[in-house]
Amino acid sequence: MSEKAVDVEVEFDRQVERLVELGYPELAGRPAERFGESVAPLRELVRSRTIGEHDPENGRVGFALVVTRRLVPIEQAMQRTALVGRSTPGFVDRSFEEGSLARFVAPEAVHVPDADAYLLFDVDRGEEFCGAVPVEAMDAIAGRERTVLTIEEGIALLTLYPEVLVKNKCYMLGGSRCGDRRVPALWISRNAPKLGWCWERNPHTWLGMASAGSRVAAV
């Protein structure tokens, strides 16, 4: 799908419908109608903005609707992901010790809206950083006045656009940290998406660094 082909209102409605199909309202403890109403104000925000490049198969997305862990726990959100053409659900790697996901939050430099759901604009899975040292990739992204993705944002991108996660073009999520050297990442394992982590100074040829241009929440 090219940038010219995107009807932003139709695409926003598709994203909401996709989340409803995957059971997000039930996970959030809300009827589907109420879930739709709660994110409806974001539809107006999409209409008011210029959407950038939209080519999911090549890792570029104009915008994505992010539902945070305040509504849907990370583990359950991962279970609703899958690779293109496969049904095996995504999972959280057991290298995350019990309770550790709660400690992976946005550091001070990553400004995330105080909201249950918001919009992420101008998203790039960042394969240009495959093989780069993660901390250096994060510095480069900051220098471009862009922001690295959080765990919730990376899962949202994968949930709405499964085609972005492909062999040798997976991505790290430097916007969620827990105070140590671990950097969360999404890659492929056992024919399914896996949320794992890598060390901040260990480069991987198959892991880029995902980023976005901005985040916007409804007032």
pLDDT confidence band for 49 (50 / 70 / 90):
confident
pLDDT tens track for 20-34: 999 999 999 999 999
Give per-residue pLDDT as tens, 51-105.
888 999 999 999 999 999 999 999 999 999 999 999 999 999 999 999 999 999 9
Mean of the pLDDT values across residues 145-163? 98
* Cα→Cα distances 180→67, 90, 104, Å: 25, 25, 10
Confidence of residue 219 (pLDDT cuts 50, 70, 90): confident
Let me know the angle formed at the C-alpha of 153 by 59 and 179, rounded to the nearest 5 degrees. 115
pLDDT, average across residues 3-21 = 88
The pLDDT of residue 2 is 41
Q: Is the pLDDT of residue 1 over 90?
A: no
Q: Note the pTM of the prediction, 2 decimals.
A: 0.95
Pairing of strands 214-216, 170-172: unpaired
Output the six-digit token pair for 142. Answer: 């900051």
